[in-house]
Chain A
Amino acid sequence: MKNTFIARNPSVLWFLLALAVFTVVVTILSEATGFGLISTSFLKTLGKTLCLCLVAIAMDVVWGYCGILSLGHFAFFGIGGYAIGMWLMYARTEGLVQVSLQSSALPPTPQEITDAIGSQIFGVVGSSDFPVIWAFSHSLTLQLLAVILVPGLLALIFGWLAFRSRVTGVYLSILTQAMTLALSLYFFQNDTGLRGNNGLSGLQNIPGLEDRSQAVVSLWFFWGSAIALALGYVLFAYVVSGKFGSVVRAIRDNEARVRFLGYHVEQYKLFIFTLTAMVAGIAGALYYPQAGIINPAEIAPIASIYLAVWVAIGGRGRLYGAVIGAALVSLLSSWFTGGSAPDINLGFYVIKWTDWWLVLLGLSFVLVTLYFPKGIGGIFDALGRKRVEGDAS
Chain B
Amino acid sequence: MLRLLFACFVLCLAAPVAHAQSLQAILQGHADAVESPSRKTVDAVIASLADAPVDGIPTFLEDWRDKSIWMRTSDGVFFSVVEDGDGLILTDLDSGEETTVADDDGFSQAKPNAGVRRVISGALVQFLLSDPDISRRIAALDSIGRDPSADQLDPLRASIAGEPDADVLARKQQLERQLTAQFGTDTDARIAAINHLSGDLSVEVRGVISQILTTRQFVAASIPDGTNVAQILVIDEDLTADEAYQLLVSEDLAPATVSTADIVSTLTAQIADGQVAGVAVATLDTDAARYAAYETLVANGDAAPFVSPEERAAALDAHTFYTAYVEPNSAITDAAEDAQAAISLQLGVGQTFDLTLDALSLASIYFLAAIGLAITFGVMGVINMAHGEFIMMGAYTGYVVQQIVPDYTVSILIALPLAFMVTFAAGVAMERLVIRHLYHRPLETLLATFGIAIVLQQLAKNIFGTQARPLTSPDWLAGAWVLNDVVQISYIRIAIFVLALLFLGLILFILKRTRLGLEVRAVTQNPGMAASMGINPDRINMLTFGLGSGIAGIAGVAIGLYAKVTSEMGADYIVQSFMTVVVGGVGNVWGTLAGASLIGFTQKGIEWFNPSNTLAAQTYMILFVILFIQFRPKGIVALKGRAAGD
- Which chain A residues have a beta carbon within 8 Å of chain B's beta carbons? 69, 105-111, 158, 161-162, 164-167, 169-171, 173-175, 177-179, 181-182, 185-186, 188-189, 191, 256, 301-302, 305, 308-309, 312, 355-356, 358-359, 361-366, 369-370, 373
Contacts and interface: CB of A to CB of B under 8 A. Distances in A.
Contacts of A362: 451-455, 458
A170 B619 contact: no
A359 B458 CA distance: 6
Contact of B633 (A69, A166, A364): A166
12 contacts: A69-B443, A105-B271, A107-B282, A107-B283, A178-B575, A181-B622, A185-B618, A309-B447, A358-B454, A358-B458, A362-B453, A369-B448
Q: Please give me the 4 A-B residue pairs with the lowest Cβ-Cβ distance, nearest first.
A: A365-B451, A362-B454, A362-B455, A182-B622
B217 interface: no
A312 B447 CA distance: 9
A309 B626 contact: no
A108 B264 CA distance: 10
Given A106-B290, A161-B630, A169-B442, A363 B451 contact: yes
A109 B619 contact: no
B512 interface: no
Interface in B242-285: 264, 267-268, 271, 281-285
Given A106-B264, A173-B443, A189-B615, A366 B626 contact: no
Interface of chain A: mostly helix, strand, loop or mixed = helix
A355 B438 CA distance: 29
Nearest to A186: B619
Given A107-B282, A181-B575, A175 B458 contact: no
A277 to B, nearest CB: 16
A343 to B, nearest CB: 13
Contact of A107 (B285, B582, B625): B285
Interface string B199-210: 000000000000
Nearest to A68: B443
Given A107-B285, A189-B613, A301-B575, A171 B455 contact: no
A385 B283 CA distance: 75
Interface of B: 264, 267-268, 271, 281-287, 290, 383, 434, 437-438, 441-444, 446-448, 450-455, 457-459, 461-462, 571, 575, 578-579, 582, 613, 615-616, 618-619, 622-623, 625-627, 629-630, 633, 646
A224 B619 CA distance: 35
B442 A170 contact: yes
Nearest to B284: A106
A369 B451 contact: yes
A308 B625 CA distance: 24
A302 B446 CA distance: 13
Contacts of B575: 174, 177-178, 181, 301
Given A69-B443, A181-B575, A361-B454, A174 B582 contact: yes
Given A166-B633, A178-B579, A366-B451, A185 B285 contact: no
Contacts of A69: 443, 446-447
A167 B287 CA distance: 56
B446 A175 contact: no
Contact of B616 (A158, A189, A358, A359): A189
A111 B261 CA distance: 13
A234 B26 CA distance: 106
Nearest to A111: B287
Nearest to B454: A362
Contacts of B447: 69, 308-309, 312, 365, 369
A174 B579 contact: yes
Contact of B434 (A178, A186, A358, A370): A370
Nearest to B633: A165
Contacts of B281: 105-107
A106 B630 contact: no
Contacts of A366: 434, 448, 451-452, 455
A364 B450 CA distance: 12
B446 A167 contact: no
A314 to B, nearest CB: 13
A30 to B, nearest CB: 34
B613 A106 contact: no
Given A178-B626, A356-B462, A359-B459, 18 more contacts: A105-B271, A106-B268, A107-B285, A158-B626, A162-B629, A174-B575, A175-B582, A178-B578, A179-B626, A182-B619, A185-B615, A185-B619, A305-B450, A358-B455, A358-B458, A362-B455, A369-B451, A370-B434
Contact of A365 (B437, B448, B622): B448
A162 B626 CA distance: 8
Contacts of A358: 454-455, 457-458
A358 to B, nearest CB: 4
Contacts of B441: 373
A375 B627 CA distance: 36
B451 A309 contact: yes
B454 to A, nearest CB: 4
A171 B629 CA distance: 10
A361 B619 CA distance: 31
A356 B627 CA distance: 40
A256 B282 CA distance: 72
A189 B617 CA distance: 11
Contacts of B457: 358
